Amino acid sequence: MTEQSALTEAYYYILLALYHPLHGYGIMQKVETMSHGRVTLAAGTLYGALNSLMAKGWITALAAEENSRKKLYEITRDGRAVVIAEIARLQELYQNGLALTKGTNR
Amino acid sequence: MKKTSWRLTLSWNYENESKWLNEMSDKGWQLEKPGLFRYTFVQGEPGKYRYDMEYLDANGEKRKEYFAFLEETGIEIVGQLGNWAYYRKPDNGKPFAIFSDTASKIAHYKRILLFLLIITPLEAWFMAKSWVEVYRGTHDASDMAMVILLTLAVVLLASGILHLLRRIATLSKNG
């Protein structure tokens, strides 16, 4: 895996949502629930993001179920590695922020 | 009851068009069929639907796949006009938009921009050719009307390109 820059919120939450396989609409609902309604993914934005994430090899589309055009998506091993790296980056940001501001009001 | 409305929208101002469709919805007129100038509406429950539009780059099977994905999320494809798709969703109290983040909005503007950047030089070339004919004196009255129309079209397209470039710059700056 090459050096990667920070993930957008949308990418990060989509990857997290796909630790269990989901359809497009399921992803939208899960992300909204996880973020307590703060992050809403519009359908066009989600579709573009899913295609980019597939092109990167971070998620994969599972074969559509019988009698259904709905695709199921799931995170890949590479995708999980990206999430782990992002969590480490966020943890560094979080801890440094906390260490420097803790106990002060300004 | 049905109703026909006439309106000219320039592709780079499509947001005004979706705003107009939402206003029509609030008045109880739901879009039945979009057209280049001619729109038909059906009378129904005021405010039932929220509308949005998209300039598509996918064709054929890819477009079908995309539409199936959108429909799965509760979006209805009301109509298509060339590469423009008209969407609507029952109003659930939240604003309806096909794109929710800056990156996808910019990508959408760039698709419209690319189209303008392809057709504008073509138009400009026809315009230049017509002006040359006018100067050479090998023209008649209908040619003159054509020259004026072509010139107006080029000016309009150029203003559209500037408008889109400004929108993209604003979005990039404000994140």
Q: What is the pLDDT of residues B57-103, one digit of tens each?
A: 888 999 999 999 999 999 999 999 989 999 999 998 888 999 998 98
Give residue limits of the domains in chain B. 2-90, 102-174
Structural domain contains residue A2:
no
Structural domain contains residue A1:
no
Structural domain contains residue A62:
yes
Chain A positions in Cβ-Cβ contact with residue B97 (cut-off 8 Å): 42
ipTM, 2 dp: 0.84
Structural domain contains residue A61:
yes
Report how many domains make up chain A: 1
Structural domain contains residue A30:
yes
- The closest CB to that of A43, out of B94, B98, B107, belongs to B98
**What is the residue range of A67's domain?**
9-101
- Cα separation, B150 vs B94, whole angstroms: 43
Please state the pTM of the whole predicted model: 0.86
- Cα separation, B55 vs B58, whole angstroms: 9
Structural domain contains residue A4:
no
Pure H helices in A35-76: 43-56
Handedness of CA B77, B104, B17, B45 (dihedral sign): positive
- The closest CB to that of A44, out of B68, B94, B99, belongs to B99
What is the tens place of the pLDDT at every residue in B1-18?
Answer: 888 888 877 788 888 999
Structural domain contains residue A3:
no
Closest alpha carbon within chain A to B72: A25
Q: What is the CATH number of the domain that holds A23?
A: 1.10.10.10
Is A28 at the interface with chain B, CB within 8 A? yes
